[in-house]
Structure 1
């Protein structure tokens, strides 16, 4: 199952990577074929029926995941993600604050009724979460609130008039209002709205505004310029001005428009109904073209910036699935949205997202149509989010049906104590000693051929072989597609059956139209390759076919190869030297400048040598920003390694590339040995440039060991109901709803029989139920960016401990 991992450069998901990655017995031993060689057939060998745990262990070994920091600790087993509420992930912002969804809607107030309606849909979805079914949320309407700007309809700026001219205009407006005081065209304004106007503008200006609207109603045929505008007193508070504009449009819809002048006064003028529709369309079109905000709306600068940031809460959905929907509704596409890292499907995740030139009101409206997802906490900023703009992720993980060594024969109380002892020791060592920072299994895909195998063929320039591997399928999936019998030992999903059948048709007949008719569109890489190769004259245009795959997917293949090499080298480094710092180990230059120079980095001077004040540039304007896009590493000398200034958590290992340093010791030599071997594809670590530019890997660095940002905490729970929820999600907290089956404090509710002392009376069969109680371990941990939660759990639980729940049929991959 794809794990939640906030990557600085996250590997984009392949079409079906959301499903468990442990379902194929994949060989990652590479061959070195000739440049244009391809496999004779596109079918992978039929795999024997083995447990999911065995397949995971086998694949871990094949992608270099072999070592533990504390192998002597006792392990335990448990089921991960049996319910998607068992895996809660909240981003940790750069400030260190854990992100939580606080408010829904655009006004900072919880829309309780709307959320309760969506929660009922989510509840239905959770009951059938194994097949991912969900009920469509009917869209609800919302008034799109116009916001102010500084530009006229024709794009020209409103000219600032001298104070005397303003006085003349106000006097003329007052005179016209007086002439219309006895007319029947007075607008209907409630006492509450009238009080709002008085609080914003004062009684005099409020009366003038009502008089202006009365004049508009009395003379509907006049042009807007025939009505004298009303000029308010200056309003210096931005939020108060925004509230004034919003209130005017709500109380007098399609009658007036307002704009903030340069002296912070608000000009209120007529907007005849016959022009309002065309005007709004022009404003909308201007926004889509990236132009200025329309007349009568706040400028992006006054809102706080062009980028709208908001919190996205989702349940059992991919990040790109939700972002794709939002992009289709806003007409900016998925690329118009930015986020710090992708999040897993099977879980409840909370993250920040940004989009350019959208209002909170519009996004809140669209958010009401989301299923099993919510957006809120809107803020405008001058910059959008970038990958890696987070400190890490906080995980709240529930492991169900946990078992421990030597638990046989123990009663319930003894099992709980054993669990606490084992987990307490594992958590203590984990917090202090960390874990090997392996790339997790999800980095290597979930199909018949792992993504690193495709990557090595691309780096070998064997493009035909890479395509053949992408189009690989198993005999098991094809047999299931062609059979009417159901094999209860291996169940294959309908999508995987259709994929195998479509790829078999393409391999045997080259009938692209028929293959594409059967192939589900979710398999985008396979679809685009077949579509390209089936066109006349393109049957052997391998590079052209690969170009049809989205760029992020193409890069995923070669990045997976880098990850494989890094994993194998990390295991070698740990088994050879352990936690000892040795000569030739690499450390990041920017992290240890003070140690290198022998001085500490002080605060920038406030005054120069002459006593004049020094004005330092803001971070975004500085030419010497600390966060540089390029990391540099250097090797430690023997004296530095033995100085005690560096520890094992400082050591980095390079990802293969043309712009990295390799350790000048035996680990550096191991890079050459590994990559030149059959397993490494016969490649040279010092020759990573390719004629196809995007396959030229510059490389990077990754810490050998990782440790949590703060010490772990855990709880041991007993339960009998597999559907019991042990933790609260942000929506539960927001709606003040407690998970079903729990009382305050998170303890399971037990209905007591009425007795003299109020205790639960044991009935016949209760003792058997007591024996059948299961144990759940609830872990709370914080990990930094680019660290895999599954690798952290692996260190805690040891080999075979993590049993990822299988919600779908995946046997045929």
Structure 2
């Protein structure tokens, strides 16, 4: 899922997305963020049947202003995301320089001049078919020095010791690595005084984080598991984040700048520990809203309200999928242990499918013949493929086993989506009951834990009463995502949780299913989030293809700041703000615009 959600999206029918910006022409814009998909000519949708915000509990607003129309994410360059690290610093790509330790670690002259020239020529020509044999003294220490020099000064190449003359002598063979995976985990090739991880800043455009890591690994011939990052970032955007790589040279990463398009690698340094999922404190957004119809006064009022009061921390529409079969409906079936229904929902026809899947899903709806559907299934539909393969084998508990065939992180997202639906619905009901004032029975987290957001915590929330109410504000209030470890508000909101879950056939007091994998402990989420570092700029423009905000790579390349054109045809609003983890930028934009952020509404806004 995109950066705001920090989870992988479940989208049964992924639409392709080119590396180029869409052309300037009259067209409808798909602003759904789940995979950043653009509308394709082979995608079939019925807008009347698509989910809208009210279908997933998104109803209320904080502010009283009227809002105005604008297009969200018309181009991927309109959505720029910079990770905020655990120290609170905005991560930016500012340099391609190699750390000093990389330059001075070994002396290249341990390789004789003739062999150095051969190696340089090999690298310059990118000649993967030749090899260089270096004759060395029969000394392990000497060979080690040469191996290290090759690693540091010719990082694209791989060296190995070979026997010659029936093992009487040992030489060093240098080649471009031909194997699929080049081992970066060789202690003999890594200086003892250098930390084991290279931390670098990854800039990418219009690519998913995991896909980007796969491309890096393929180009470097290393395993993807050598790379670690704090979270995934939006696909249809320009994003910057930190990554660590285990025993991978900075120079090898720097060389990728010459061969990988729409990416940047820099700000290298060596560190002793890897990044872990969740090790960020949020994201800084630079967003461009185009075709703005509001007056300058309306814009000022809306942005000022966001800055002063924040926004309701709803889970955005991308949490619930892009088709008429929502992910939370699958999650509800799973929690009710109706695995047959859950599987049917995954496979049944839906608006939003591409043409290749319409006939395929029709087979399932008419025949329930898993093998026949599997034979017709396009190669890239991995979730359906996993499910159908198990169903085609029949056997006991086949529907449960079919769900188990889906990768764990993906199948749990169905359940998480249902939790998100309940949370959205409950925060709307809580606001309808009590507004934005703190009331007895509300839940808050201790100040030290507020920054942890939606992550699981082994703490009990504080219940608001007459004595402690003065110590907190509405910004401290949390509501639970339902689960077997949760404490619920002691006011009327707690009862509403029970009623809403009961309507869906789920007992709030017994949320542990007999299958541990689908039992969720729950967690707490802030009701209201107030962004920081809020800035705005109004820009007039004439060309829809013109970028209106600079990315890190633009700044590094010396691109000039876009200028507002006096008398321009269209008005754009450039917004900047920072959000903590687990907060959706689209929900902040919703509070400003007062328009539906769902695909069904956004697709009605034409470029011209």
Taking the aligned partners of 1:736 and 1:256, their CA distance within structure 2 comes to 42
Q: Find out whether 1:578 has 2:578 as its counterpart.
A: no
Q: CA shift at 1:388, angstroms?
A: 2.0
Q: CA shift at 1:591, angstroms?
A: 3.1
- Aligned match of 1:420: 296
Q: Find out whether 1:777 has 2:600 as its counterpart.
A: no
Taking the aligned partners of 1:146 and 1:276, their CA distance within structure 2 comes to 23
> Contact 2:105–2:152 at 8 Å: present in 1 too?
no
Cα distance change, pair 540–274 in 1 and its aligned pair in 2 (3 A):
same
- Aligned match of 2:165: none
| SS in structure 1 at match of 2:354 | helix
Q: CA shift at 1:246, angstroms?
A: 7.0
Cα distance change, pair 685–188 in 1 and its aligned pair in 2 (3 A):
closer
Q: CA shift at 1:589, angstroms?
A: 3.4
- Aligned match of 2:266: 376
Taking the aligned partners of 1:186 and 1:73, their CA distance within structure 2 comes to 73
Give structure 1 stretches of 5+ with no counterpart: 24-45, 109-143, 149-184, 194-219, 232-240, 258-271, 405-418, 478-494, 594-626, 739-744, 751-769, 808-813
Cα distance change, pair 511–640 in 1 and its aligned pair in 2 (3 A):
closer
- Aligned match of 1:40: none
Cα distance change, pair 628–570 in 1 and its aligned pair in 2 (3 A):
closer
- Aligned match of 1:735: 557
**Equivalent residue runs for 1:306-705 within 5 Å:** 306-329=196-219, 333-366=223-256, 368-404=258-294, 419-474=295-350, 496-508=354-366, 515-535=373-393, 537-538=394-395, 541-589=398-446, 591=448, 630-641=458-469, 644-677=470-503, 681-705=504-528
What is the root-mean-square deviation of aligned Cα atoms in Å? Answer: 4.2
- Aligned match of 1:602: none
Q: CA shift at 1:451, angstroms?
A: 0.6
Q: CA shift at 1:94, angstroms?
A: 1.8
Cα distance change, pair 543–146 in 1 and its aligned pair in 2 (3 A):
farther
Count residues in correspondence: 549
Greater Cα offset, 361-370 or 426-435: 361-370
> Contact 1:583–1:635 at 8 Å: present in 2 too?
yes
Taking the aligned partners of 1:704 and 1:805, their CA distance within structure 2 comes to 25
Cα distance change, pair 230–690 in 1 and its aligned pair in 2 (3 A):
closer
Q: CA shift at 1:696, angstroms?
A: 0.9
- Aligned match of 1:761: none
Q: CA shift at 1:348, angstroms?
A: 0.7
| SS in structure 1 at match of 2:60 | coil
| SS in structure 1 at match of 2:270 | strand
Q: Deviations over 1:745-770 (max 9, x none)?
A: 531579xxxxxxxxxxxxxxxxxxx5
Q: Find out whether 1:102 has 2:91 as its counterpart.
A: no
Taking the aligned partners of 1:312 and 1:805, their CA distance within structure 2 comes to 30
Cα distance change, pair 325–516 in 1 and its aligned pair in 2 (3 A):
farther
- Aligned match of 1:276: 172
* TM score, norm. by length of structure 1: 0.60
Taking the aligned partners of 1:424 and 1:697, their CA distance within structure 2 comes to 43
- Aligned match of 1:407: none
Q: Find out whether 1:5 has 2:23 as its counterpart.
A: no
Q: CA shift at 1:628, angstroms?
A: 8.9
Q: CA shift at 1:561, angstroms?
A: 0.7
Taking the aligned partners of 1:103 and 1:5, their CA distance within structure 2 comes to 26
**Equivalent residue runs for 1:129-208 within 5 Å:** none
> Contact 1:340–1:390 at 8 Å: present in 2 too?
yes
> Contact 2:86–2:281 at 8 Å: present in 1 too?
yes
Q: Deviations over 1:453-482 (max 9, x none)?
A: 0001001111111000001213x67xxxxx
Taking the aligned partners of 1:573 and 1:365, their CA distance within structure 2 comes to 54
Which of 84, 97, 105 pairs up with 1:92?
A: 84
Taking the aligned partners of 1:438 and 1:90, their CA distance within structure 2 comes to 21
Cα distance change, pair 186–684 in 1 and its aligned pair in 2 (3 A):
closer
Q: Deviations over 1:418-449 (max 9, x none)?
A: x2211111111111111111000101111231
Give structure 2 stretches of 5+ with no counterpart: 17-29, 34-43, 107-111, 121-133, 162-167
> Contact 2:478–2:527 at 8 Å: present in 1 too?
yes
Q: CA shift at 1:363, angstroms?
A: 3.1
| SS in structure 2 at match of 1:294 | helix
> Contact 2:84–2:281 at 8 Å: present in 1 too?
yes
Taking the aligned partners of 1:355 and 1:795, their CA distance within structure 2 comes to 39
> Contact 2:138–2:169 at 8 Å: present in 1 too?
no
> Contact 1:355–1:384 at 8 Å: present in 2 too?
yes
Taking the aligned partners of 1:688 and 1:801, their CA distance within structure 2 comes to 32
- Aligned match of 1:787: 583
Taking the aligned partners of 2:391 and 2:598, their CA distance within structure 1 comes to 42
Taking the aligned partners of 1:520 and 1:506, their CA distance within structure 2 comes to 14
* TM score, norm. by length of structure 2: 0.79
| SS in structure 1 at match of 2:308 | helix
- Aligned match of 1:746: 562
Taking the aligned partners of 1:531 and 1:273, their CA distance within structure 2 comes to 55
Taking the aligned partners of 1:703 and 1:95, their CA distance within structure 2 comes to 21
**Equivalent residue runs for 1:242-281 within 5 Å:** 245=149, 275-277=171-173
> Contact 1:18–1:344 at 8 Å: present in 2 too?
no
Q: Deviations over 1:124-170 (max 9, x none)?
A: xxxxxxxxxxxxxxxxxxxx99977xxxxxxxxxxxxxxxxxxxxxx
Taking the aligned partners of 2:297 and 2:285, their CA distance within structure 1 comes to 22
Taking the aligned partners of 1:221 and 1:397, their CA distance within structure 2 comes to 58
> Contact 2:198–2:247 at 8 Å: present in 1 too?
yes
| SS in structure 2 at match of 1:731 | helix
Taking the aligned partners of 1:248 and 1:439, their CA distance within structure 2 comes to 47
> Contact 1:528–1:545 at 8 Å: present in 2 too?
yes
| SS in structure 2 at match of 1:5 | coil
Taking the aligned partners of 1:517 and 1:713, their CA distance within structure 2 comes to 53
- Aligned match of 2:109: none
| SS in structure 2 at match of 1:276 | strand
Q: CA shift at 1:48, angstroms?
A: 5.3
Taking the aligned partners of 2:597 and 2:182, their CA distance within structure 1 comes to 57
